Amino acid sequence: MSEVASQDVGKAQNAIRSLHELFPNSSAKGLLESENPFRDLLHNTELGCDISNHLRQPTSGVGSDNVCRWLYDTFQSTDSELQMVVLRFIPVLLGVYLCGAISRKPLPGFEAVILAIYAHETKERGEEAMIVNVASMDNPSVYHEVTGKTKNNSNKAAVLGVVSPEMEPCGTVRATKRARICGVTLELYYSKISQMPISSKVEFCKLCIQWSGESGFDEELVMDVNKTGTEPAASNLEKGGRIPLPWELFQPAVRIVGHCLLGQFESVELRRKALEATKCLYARAVHDVQPQAILAARSLLRLHKFNRI
C-alpha cells in the first residue's frame, strides 16, 4: 500500500473510531478491520440507521450535537470518499433542518454542516455559474444539407442555459439565502448520486413527498391536461412537512428524483417512491403556478411513461 493510500485509510479509521465513541453498540468497530473502510462505511445499513435516527430526534441539530460535529469534521477532512459518507445523510439532514427553519427553530449544528458543503462547492466552482450551451434554431442542423444561401450566423452569440447561478461566499444562513444554500447542497448530492446507497435515494424521494404537501396527480390525468385545457385538482396531504419550494430547491430535487425514476435499478421500492415523488412535485408546481417547475415535473412524468412503452 502506498503512503498516500495508507494516509487515506488512516483518515477513514479515525472517522470510524470517532463514530464508535458516539454509537458504542453499533457495528462501527468492526469496520476498522475492513479492507475498504470507505465503501463499508458508506453502505453500512446499521450505522446509517443510527445516524439518521439521531438526526431526527427533537434535540438534534443544536450547537453541541456531537453527531453534527462528526459530520462537519468528516466533510472538512477534504477526503472525497469520506465526504461522500456525509452526503449520504443530506436527505435526512435537510429534511429536518428546513422543516425546523419554518418554525424558526435554531439549528446551528445542521447549519454548520450545510455551510461547510456550500463553502466547498463555492471554492470548487470558483463562484461561477454552471451553464450549458443550447443549440440555436437560427443555425442550420449539422445533420442536414443546406440548399441555397444562408445567412452568416458565425457572429451570433451562443445561447446559454443557466443550470446553477453564480455563487457568493456565505458565513451564515440568512432566510433570503437559505433556499440557494440548500439547493447547492442538493446539487452536490446529485453529482454523486450514482454512488449513493439505495436507502439514501429512497429517503430523498420520501422527503420530496413530504416537502410537496400534495398528493400526486394520476399519471393518465397528467397526460390528458393538453386535451382538456385544465389542470386536475389535487388533494392535500398532511401539512407537517410542507415547505416553500422555490426554483433553487425544486430544480435539483427534480433532477435527483429523475435519476431515481429513470435509472436502471433493481429496487422496486425506489422506483415506486420516485414516481410518487414526481407526481407530488408536479401537483405542488401546479398549486404554486410555477411554469418552470410544471414543465420539469410534467416532462419527467412523460419520460417515465415513454420509458415503459
Instruction: Give the pLDDT confidence of 200-237 residue by residue, as tens digits.
Output: 999 999 999 999 988 766 555 544 444 554 544 444 34
Q: What is the C-alpha to C-alpha distance for residues 186 and 24, in angstroms, rounded to an integer?
A: 31
pLDDT of residue 237: 42
Instruction: Give the pLDDT confidence of 144-188 residue by residue, as tens digits.
Output: 666 655 555 554 555 667 778 777 888 888 888 999 999 999 999
CA nearest to 113, candidates 42, 61, 187: 61
Predicted TM-score (pTM) of the model is 0.84
Query: Which alpha helices (H) appear in 126-246, and where do they start and end?
Result: 178-191, 198-212, 219-223, 225-228
For 187-203, what is the mean pLDDT? 94
Could you tell me if 221 and 252 are in contact, meaning their C-beta atoms sit under 8 angstroms apart? no
- What is the chain's mean pLDDT, rounded? 83
Could you tell me if 74 and 37 are in contact, meaning their C-beta atoms sit under 8 angstroms apart? no
Q: What is the C-alpha to C-alpha distance for residues 25 and 54, in angstroms, rounded to an integer?
A: 14
Instruction: Give the pLDDT confidence of 245-268 residue by residue, as tens digits.
Output: 999 999 999 999 999 999 888 889
Instruction: Give the pLDDT confidence of 115-135 residue by residue, as tens digits.
Output: 999 999 998 888 777 777 776
Contacts of 5 (CB under 8 A, 6+ apart): none
pLDDT of residue 65: 92
Handedness of CA 222, 228, 229, 234 (dihedral sign): negative
pLDDT of residue 155: 46
End-to-end C-alpha distance for the chain, whole angstroms: 50
pLDDT of residue 142: 65
Percent of the chain with pLDDT over 90: 50
